[in-house]
Structure 1
Amino acid sequence: MDERYLSESSILKEIKYYIDTNFYNYAVMIDGAWGSGKTYFVKNVLLKKIESNEKRVLYVSLYGISNIQELGKKLYLDYLLKDKSKLVTEHTELVENVIGTIIDIGSPFMGKLGDIDIKEKKIKNIVQNTVKHICPMKNCVLIFDDLERCDCSIQDILGYINGFVEQAGMKVIIIANQEELRKKIDAQTLALQIRAVIGKDETLDFTEPGNGQLVKYLMSMQNKQPENEKIKKVSLNVAKERVARVFGVESEYEHIREKIVGTVFHYNPDTKKVMSNLIQKNFTYNTNDRRQLEKNINYLAESMEKAKHVNFRTFQFFLQKMDKLLQVLDGEDYENKDFIYKRVILSCWDSCILFKTGKLKDDWNDAEYIEGVKFRVRVIEDYIKYSWLNVEKGKIVFKKFDVEETRTKLLKNDPVNLLQDKWYRADSDDFIVNNMNAVIENARNGMYDIGSYDKILQIFLQIYTAGFDIEYVDRLIKAMCEGIETKSATGILDCIGTMSWESKKTEQLYKQYIRKLQEVYNKSMEKKSEDDLNIFLKEDNWAQKIYDYCLNVKHPQKQEDYTKKLSPFLKALDVKTLIRKLETSNGENLQKFASVLRLVYPLQYNPNAFIEDNEERKKLCLAMKHCKENETQLIRKFQYQIIEEYLLKFTDFEESTKE
């Protein structure tokens, strides 16, 4: 038997040689793992190649076939109906009846009718005319796919297929996952052997764990016996030992296969070609997305092979997930477009492989992404596992990648990058100390985007773990806080990285320093929010201005909108000035302010979530009640009532009493 790993082009040459020569009768097998693309290759390449050489092909999937009769009927009916002649299409029901008769007799091929006794003359005439008007079935090339997935005895199926090979001299190609086929045949053979070594006064004990497939076959053969104390239970391990003594070998696969299959071609797919075809097929509507995926096809193919997971069903699953992720990316503007697309594509692909192999861990803690051997993104992994994509979170994370890459390019020779790239392989401590001092000074002067603070902190903590004084980290945090407070530093403190791969002590230090930065940053943002909102109270259309501001905070469209702050809302406003504006405002402002409240205090939220500005809310609520009671215009009275009633839903009037 000649076993070789072949490319698609080599398999095509070998199959052509097999069909064109007649040295002896045998079948050939194309072996490949599930999801490797062998069925796609057979149906879209091999089958067309054979038919182009004026050969007729019958392709039959054995998936779910439960008995030989069912297979025979499917095979012959597919053959007859494949012909578009008037004879066949007009007499489909009669042809099915004839086929039933043929299958019952067990004819291995439809080349001759001399040994078949058909009593119905009318049916006999139809069959004879059918065979006369279409080429005999024995001239077809038969392709049997999914052999390991049939539901009946593999030995019976192979015996039936062998009838076409030996008796009819036909060309037969079998498509299978040989590893799974071997397991199935060995389990079926072992089940028969075990039944043979079990005595009449014995029964098998199925209660022990394991042996799932073997137990399935054995139970299907088990005769139901009445409860009898004299019946002895025999474990499967004891039964296997008997089989080894009686039959000598446990595996029958190679012995069975070599009787039928002369050559096995191990299918080795052109991974990049298959991936490219699938991308073309699924992204015909979007040239940009297709190109971005094709740019990274080398990595996609190499990682699939490196993970030993050549499964194109996983790749199709990946393309489905990328379709939605690419829609998120396409809707945004990035300075480093190719870089962002590459990050998302590679992260999604690696996570898909881990998910399909059962190795995708849920070990995120508070991080949103992790840079390690594999670049992992939490929002992507959540989408892969649960099919729910947090689009807003995704936009924030992907934008952070863009900002970081821009900063990396601009600051290539900045001391931060020099430390990140070289501190662990520096020739002297002076190089590290000098650059740390330079970073601290730059941070104090606001030269770094606030969004990079967590990354810089991590570098300093890594250096600290190498034995340098913690003083440098303390000085760094102090300088960063000064940059935030003096507003010389700009950007967003999102802190969505992680130090989970460090020691527990270092991780705790990271969290401690981040909390300090967060406190200073929040106070700075609240002051900024206060300044912004109170400026709006000087405008004629003040309510519309506040509404637009709050809408941008909740649904940011621009980078600068991420720096705006909403919580707590009323603490950022001069409530006395706000009340005076409401007392004298026109109906349009009153109506729009009610919309502001609905935007800031959503009904689905727990009122306790807004407890920080409860006192301010209570003052405003009482003022609206007073305005309502003293207003003479009915429409204004109605508008004050709407504002009062909505505020009441989120206001606790007992809070002050408790305090």
Structure 2
Amino acid sequence: MNQNDLIDAIKHYIKTPKCYYSAVLINAPWGAGKTYFVKNVLYTEVKKELQNANKYMIYISLNGINSVDLLCSRFNLAKLKLSNKPKNKNNIAYDSLNVISAFSDLLSEENQKKINAALKITGSMVKISKKLVMSFKGEEIIFILDDLERSTIPIEELLGCISDIAEQEGCKFILIGNEEKIKDQDKYHEIKEKVIGHTYLFKQDVQSVINGELKDKELKDYEGKIIDLLNNEESINYRVLFQSLETYKELKEMIKKIQFDYFKNSSNWGRFLYELLSDCYFNKKENIASKKEEKDNIEDSYKNLLFSMKNEDMHKFKFVNDVNRNGLYNVSLIKGEVERYIIKSIESEKTENLSFLRNNYFLMEDEEIIKHFNMIIDELESNEIDYILYPQIISFYYRLVSIDLYEENNMFDIMKRNICLNKYEYHTIELDSFNDFVPKNYTSNYKKIVKELITVQEDVQIGKEIDLSDDEDWVSKLESIYYSKEKIYMHRRAFFKYVNSTSLLEKINNSNNKTIDDFRGFIKKISRNFGFDHDQEIVRSLVEEIRKYLKEPSGSKIKKYQLDWLVSNLNEFAGIDEGDNQNNMG
């Protein structure tokens, strides 16, 4: 049932003088926004009907209520709160306290005396409900009882109490809950038909929630897109959505204070806020899903995976995950990530032709496709396209070649030239082996050229040979260089082939035991989970020279066992069998 139909049904219930049933139920899963709807939408919509019928609404949560006595005390105390309000003002009386004494300051002295006297006589709030003289008649009140499934009162007692009070006092009840989560389902359905006249299956209206809760003028242009995004969800947990909105608003204010020039443009700012809000919501949802992963069955896990994949093209911010998972607001992390987002956005603006082509080429005429692709080639020639997009350009190029729309040209040479200029130093080209945009008969061509580009980029990034001659702390220099380009060295399965052997051997020969021990530690650390077998030739050469030091008369500062261990570590690093090394030396 949609929101408007539900409101009309509740209005009818309010206006009906007498009903043959005691209550109606608004039923929906947890997180569907039932409580939000009642407190923020329903009451506002039915105010006029309440006033015309001279009725008052009282809201009580059943969460934590564990006895009929306590429930009846809530009814009476809520009514007493209402008795202190002017008769012409309709307000939901929110009551979440568990003890009577907490209300003493809200009660008139006369009513307080009546409660105390009744307690002495009866010791039971159930009996007080029958004897206490109130300024409100039962038929004037509509009780909203939320969290039906969270009450620990046995369901037959709870519904029996509601039925008795409705019959004796003439009041009405609107129950809110998740029917599926009520513990004793058999007893519930057995007694339900005697108490609950109508069950309304509730579905929240996304637009009314966004309009009511977001209220962000700077996102006005994206409201429709946000609503579409949420409407496409199989199920929306509104509790998660409200928490996400709070996180979004806090992060937005923090980012505003940092003052990025790029966001002075309202269009840039709006687009960023949309991506930030989307990430706040989906990241929160993913975190909750991951916490439940062990409890989920295969089907549930599959659904969680689907909504992650469906939104994988959205920008993901690490700082959003930090906030959602740990509650950490790291300003320096936020600043750094937003700066990277801005750089990426500026670069993507330069590649609109590529995005447009990939998404729309099948709707375009041949001449228009060629025109747009030539514009991409022009951007390539002026080195205005980031290297990370080269594989996408190549895949689209082969698609055009496969349908005889384009002939091979010097595009690949232009790419290699650009890479050598190293304009986009920290942006790495990667091969997507499963790129389904590449025609099957051109897959090998695609892989070959992308691998060539990766090799060119790695050569540029590795740079000239590492010379240790002028470095006193040569081990630290090796560590620093290795870790700055670790991905490249691991991909090439080699490191020492890029180090000047003469300078390295000189450092080894002139070092002390502590330095050699540090060098051995570095070797063991980087080879622990990876083999550098492409370094075998250079390592054999190094080992041969080190063994010469071992044969020379002792005059070195280094203990011989340290050099023995070093030889062993180098062999292990390059995946060389010690016996094989000895044979090669012989």
Same fold by TM-score, threshold 0.5 exceeded?
Answer: yes
Residue in 2 aligned with 1:5? Answer: 3
CA RMSD of aligned residues (A): 6.5
- The answer for the alignment partner of 2:26 in structure 1 is 31
In the aligned structure 2, how far is the partner of 1:33 from the partner of 1:343?
29
Partner of 1:61: 62
Compute the displacement of 1:151 (Å): 6.9
Answer yes or no: is the 8 Å Cα contact 1:6–1:267 preserved in 2: no
Partner of 2:129: 110
Structure 1 unaligned residues grouped into runs of 5+ = 113-130, 193-251, 278-289, 556-561
Residue 31 of structure 1: SS of its match in structure 2?
strand
Contact in 2 for aligned 1:309/1:353 (Cα 8 Å): no
Q: How far apart, CA to CA, are the structure 2 residues paired with 1:83 and 1:54?
A: 23
Partners of 1:635 and 1:102 in 2: CA distance:
89
- Could you tell me how far apart the structure 2 residues matched to 1:617 and 1:98 are? 96
Is 1:84 paired with 2:80?
Answer: no
Shift of 1:456: 0.9
Matched-pair contact (CA < 8 Å) for 1:59–1:144: yes
Residues 1:305 and 2:245 are matched in the alignment:
no
User: What whole-Å deviation, never above 9, does each CA across 1:14-37 have from its counterpart, x for those lacking one?
Assistant: 69x95xx99557866573633233
* Map of 1:204 onto structure 2: none
3-state DSSP of counterpart to 1:495: coil
Q: Deviations over 1:430-480 (max 9, x none)?
A: 444465466557657756432210221232244356x236x74x6467435
Query: Secondary structure in 2 aligned to 1:468?
Result: coil
Q: Is the 8 A contact 1:484 1:524 kept in 2?
A: no
The question of whether the paired residues in 1 share the 8 Å contact of 2:25 and 2:199 is answered with no
Cα drift, residue 312 of structure 1: 1.2
2:431 touches 2:447 (CA, 8 Å); kept in 1?
A: no
1:465-520 per-residue CA deviation (whole Å, 9 max, x = no partner) reads 6x236x74x64674356436755775534337686555xx7367447513532244
SS in 1 for 2:573: coil
Which residue type is aligned with residue 146 of structure 2?
D
Q: Secondary structure at the match of 1:84?
A: helix
- How many Å apart are 1:346 and its aligned residue? 2.9
Contact 1:56–1:140 (CA<8 Å) still a contact in 2? yes
CA contact (8 A) 2:23 2:173 kept: yes
State the aligned residue count: 518
Superposed displacement of residue 570, structure 1: 0.9
1:569 pairs with 2:495:
yes
1:407 to 330, 342, 347: 347
Alpha-carbon separation, structure 1, partners of 2:459 and 2:273: 35
Paired residues of 2:58 and 2:141 also in contact (CA < 8 A): yes
Q: Which moved more, 1:544-553 or 1:627-636?
A: 627-636
- Give me the whole-angstrom Cα distance separating, in 2, the residues matched to 1:553 and 1:334: 32
Residue identity in the other structure for 1:483: R
Change (3 A) 1:184 1:400: same
Residue 650 of structure 1: aligned partner = 573
Q: Which residue of 1 is the match for residue 481 of structure 2?
A: 549
Alignment of 1:463-612 (within 5 A): 463-464=400-401, 467-468=403-404, 472=407, 475=409, 478-479=412-413, 482-483=416-417, 487=421, 491=425, 492-495=427-430, 502=437, 506=439, 509-510=442-443, 513-522=446-455, 524-526=457-459, 528-531=461-464, 533-534=466-467, 537-538=469-470, 544-553=476-485, 568-584=494-510, 591=515, 598=521, 602=525, 605-606=528-529, 608-612=530-534
Secondary structure in 2 matching 1:174: strand
Q: CA deviation at 1:143?
A: 3.5
Task: Tell me how far apart the structure 2 counterparts of residues 168 and 28 of structure 1 sit (CA, whole Å).
Answer: 13
Q: Counterpart of 1:460?
A: 397
Mapping of 1:337-348 within 5 angstroms?
338=269, 339=271, 342-343=274-275, 345-346=277-278
Do 1:60 and 1:144's aligned partners in 2 also have CA atoms closer than 8 Å? yes
| Distance across 2 between alignment mates of 1:643 and 1:180 | 67
Deviation at 1:424, TM superposition (A): 3.5
Residue of structure 1 aligned with 2:196, choices 254, 257, 264: 257
Distance 2:60 2:454 in 1: 68
CA distance change for structure 1 residues 82 and 399 in 2, over 3 Å: closer, same or farther?
A: closer
Unaligned runs of 5+ in 2: 48-53, 78-97, 290-299
Following the alignment from structure 1 to structure 2, what is the Cα–Cα distance between the partners of residues 348 and 189?
39
Query: Secondary structure of the residue that 2:129 maps to in structure 1?
Result: coil
Alignment-derived partner of residue 559 in structure 1: none
CA shift digits 1:280-339 (9 cap, x unpaired): xxxxxxxxxx99999966644442234363421332575799899999x999x9978755
Alignment check: 8 A CA contact 1:57 1:142 kept: yes
Cα shift at 1:169:
3.4
Distance 1:411 1:60, change over 3 A: closer
Amino acid at match of 2:501: V
2:386 aligns to what? 449
Q: Read off the aligned partner of 1:174 and give its amino acid letter.
A: L
**8 Å Cα contact 2:32/2:238 also seen in 1:** yes
Matches of 2:527 and 2:561 in 1, distance apart? 24
Matched with 2:297 is none
Q: CA deviation at 1:172?
A: 3.9
> Are the aligned partners of 1:444 and 1:479 in contact in 2 as well (CA < 8 Å)?
no
TM-score by structure 1 length? 0.56
Residue 55 and residue 161 in structure 1: after superposition, are their counterparts in 2 closer, same or farther (change >3 A)?
same
Query: Do 2:55 and 2:142's aligned partners in 1 also have CA atoms closer than 8 Å?
Result: no
Distance 1:142 1:643 in 2: 81
- Quote how far apart the aligned CAs of 1:167 are: 0.6
TM-score calculated relative to the size of structure 2: 0.61
- Aligned partners of 2:524 and 2:569 also within 8 Å: no
Return the offset for 1:110. Answer: 1.3
Q: Deviations over 1:90-119 (max 9, x none)?
A: xx999999877666xxx5x6141xxxxxxx
Paired residue secondary structure (2:531): helix
Supply the AA of the counterpart residue of 2:129.
M
Structure 2 CA distance for aligned equivalents of residues 623 and 291 of structure 1: 72
**Structure-to-structure mapping, 1:344-359, within 5 angstroms:** 345-346=277-278, 349=281
